[in-house]
Amino acid sequence: MQLELGDMLQIVTFVTLLAGLFFGAQEVRHAKRTRFEKGALDVLGIAVKPDHIHASYAMLDLPEDVAPEVIANSEELRRAANTLMVQYEYLGNLVYQRIVPLQTLDLLVGGVIRACWHRMRPYIEDQREKRNLPNIAEWFQWLAERLEQYGRPEKSLGTHLAFRDWKP
């Protein structure tokens, strides 16, 4: 059986199409991986900034559900709260858009975000009411609630205990 020119061109076209689909799928996979890695680097970039470290420790020194006035009456605590609200708004949006997986964020800074939310919630709710702006720190709240709802259960133990049996 001998193939005619038209049949050969159809086979070549089909093979080229399959190769294009394969390489296209590889490019999509590569782009997703690059996006994921950049998102993780964004989270890490925020977490290691001196302003984030200072602000988070300032909040972590407070008791949970601290009275809103404690933060409102301290310039240093207000500045720390504003820093964290802006940074966690950004991270919440990255998770919502699926640029950063919630599980990755949880492993990197989930515990700090939860702890800060428990301390800042009364202040944020008070600011929303006083300013008549219900959207203040909305992505921060959304993120903290998603971390509570879908976060890694091991995080309540602490990473050093939860993953002590990890091996490379």
Annotated domain spans of the chain: 5-162
- Tell me if 128 sits within 8 A of 136, measured CB to CB: yes
Is residue 85 classed exposed, middle or buried when 0-12, 13-18 and 19+ CB atoms within 10 A define those classes?
Answer: buried
- Comparing 20 with 63, the larger pLDDT belongs to 63
Angle among Cα 65, 66, 71 to the nearest 5 degrees reads 130
pLDDT of amino acid 122: 97
Would you call 109 helix, strand, or coil by DSSP? Answer: helix
List pLDDT tens digits, range 122-161. 999 999 999 999 999 999 999 999 999 998 777 777 788 8
Task: Tell me the two tokens of residue 90.
Answer: 């950004």
pTM, two decimal places: 0.76
